[in-house]
């Protein structure tokens, strides 16, 4: 393992732990400024889905870089697999597998 | 005795999480292997970071050649939503000591929070900490196990079935979509739409990392403004 990779993992691990632990510890005390807290909570509530949406867009890649239209069809069918699986089972693990299976089927047979 | 029973109860309650974590952990092991991080690095990442989406993001960003510090900061930003989980459980864990809170905080992932939030209230006060430990242990151990299995057998699979390489690269967008879908509602939808547009604009112009940060800050900002106008 490269040293900079280890350092990055440790940085993320410590940061993630602090993000989880500090509010958990501090929230045992009574807080003030409930209106501001509501706005901050809403911001963080919206930040998670916003970042996941952005990461989804980045992970899909740019349509301008796609050389073959079948890549677009494979991706679309993979997403349909995720969407249908989500409707049926509402389990992210199963949805990921269903998406990968649909994508692979499209890759092999279309 | 109470501790043991509560721990076992928590372990039993972790089964729905296990069903979700094993395949995603496996997919992470394979994804990590596909970018040549190695089994040790994949397990090291799962052991210490223990946050599914951000681990995939780290691997994906490194694969795209994003500098490691930028990738770390983006990954950390993705976990900011965990900020709300402690306060969310606080009302039902008032009897937890400081030490217990510090220990329990490590395992507060999206899924653990969701199960804990819905069930911890029905547990007797004296059992709650050990029940949460059982829940977190079940989820954590299967996440590590899934990563290890994916990382070890993933390499073998990829060498025998080369078509799996592009197929498994779809695990990342599939995971993000599967995490995003349950979060969509009338409150989050405007912010998500703005974030998608922003991320697309920056990504297509070759500035993916700036797009993610912009989406994380501007999307929720516009979402709050829109909500205040309603």
- Give the per-residue pLDDT at B128: 95
- Give the per-residue pLDDT at A102: 93
B216, A50 in Cβ contact below 8 A? yes
- Give the per-residue pLDDT at A29: 56
How far is Cα B204 from Cα A76, in angstroms, rounded to an integer?
19
Q: Which residues of chain B have pLDDT under 70?
A: 1, 34, 36, 165, 168, 230
User: How far is C-alpha B205 from the geometric centre of its chain's CA atoms?
Assistant: 28
Tokens 């693990």 label which residue?
Answer: A93
Strand ranges for A1-110 from DSSP E:
none
Tell me which residue in A4, A19, A86 faces B83 most closely, judged by beta carbons.
A19
pLDDT averaged over 10-residue windows placed end to end, chain A, 110 residues = 81 91 77 64 80 85 71 92 93 82 89
- Give the per-residue pLDDT at A105: 92
What crossing angle do the helices spanning B15-34 and B110-119 adopt, rounded to 10°? Answer: 180
Quote the radius of gyration of chain B (alpha carbons, Å): 19
How far is Cα B115 from Cα B93, in angstroms, rounded to an integer?
14
Residues written for chain A:
110
- Min distance A69 CA to chain B CA atoms (Å): 15
B94 touches chain A (CB under 8 A): yes
- Give the per-residue pLDDT at B135: 95
Q: How many CB atoms lie within 10 A of CB A109?
A: 6
Chain A residue numbers touching B219 (CB-CB < 8 A): 46-47, 50, 53-54
Domain coordinates in residue numbering, chain A: 1-30, 32-60, 63-110
Domain coordinates in residue numbering, chain B: 2-179, 184-230
Positive or negative, the Cα torsion across B2, B7, B10, B11? negative
What are the tens digits of pLDDT across the range B4-16? 999 999 999 888 7
- Min distance B5 CA to chain A CA atoms (Å): 25
- Min distance B4 CA to chain A CA atoms (Å): 24
Chain B residue numbers touching A11 (CB-CB < 8 A): 72, 76
Chain A residue numbers touching B94 (CB-CB < 8 A): 28
- Give the per-residue pLDDT at A82: 94
Instruction: State ipTM.
Output: 0.81
């Amino acid at each position: 393992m490269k040293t900079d990779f280890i350092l990055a993992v440790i940085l993320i691990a410590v940061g993630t732990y602090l993000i989880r632990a500090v509010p958990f510890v501090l929230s045992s005390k009574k807080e003030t400024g409930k209106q501001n807290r509501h706005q901050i909570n809403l911001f963080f509530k919206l930040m998670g889905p916003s970042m996941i949406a952005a990461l989804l867009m980045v992970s899909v890649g740019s349509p301008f870089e796609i050389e073959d239209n079948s890549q677009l069809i494979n991706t679309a069918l993979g997403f349909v697999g995720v969407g249908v699986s989500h409707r049926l089972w509402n389990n992210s693990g199963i949805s990921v597998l269903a998406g990968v299976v649909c994508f692979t089927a499209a890759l092999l047979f279309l | 005795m109470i501790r043991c029973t509560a721990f076992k109860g928590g372990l039993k309650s972790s089964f729905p999480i296990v069903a979700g974590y094993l395949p995603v952990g496996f997919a992470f092991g394979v994804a990590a292997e596909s970018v040549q991080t190695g089994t040790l690095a994949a397990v090291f990442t799962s052991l210490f970071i223990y946050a599914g989406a951000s681990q995939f993001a780290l691997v994906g960003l490194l694969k795209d050649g994003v500098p490691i510090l930028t990738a770390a900061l983006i990954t950390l930003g993705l976990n900011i939503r965990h900020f709300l989980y402690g306060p969310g459980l606080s009302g039902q864990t008032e009897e937890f000591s400081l030490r217990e809170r510090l220990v329990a905080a490590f395992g507060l992932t999206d899924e653990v929070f969701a199960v804990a939030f819905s069930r911890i209230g029905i547990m007797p006060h004296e059992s709650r900490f050990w029940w949460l430990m059982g829940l977190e242990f079940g989820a954590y151990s299967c996440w590590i196990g899934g990563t290890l299995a994916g990382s070890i057998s993933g390499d073998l699979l990829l060498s025998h079935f080369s078509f799996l390489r592009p197929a498994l690269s779809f695990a990342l967008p599939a995971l993000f979509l599967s995490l995003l879908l349950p979060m969509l509602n009338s409150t989050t939808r405007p912010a998500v739409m703005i974030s998608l547009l922003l991320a697309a604009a920056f990504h297509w112009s070759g500035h993916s990392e700036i797009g993610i940060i912009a989406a994380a800050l501007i999307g929720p900002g516009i979402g709050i403004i829109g909500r205040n106008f309603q």
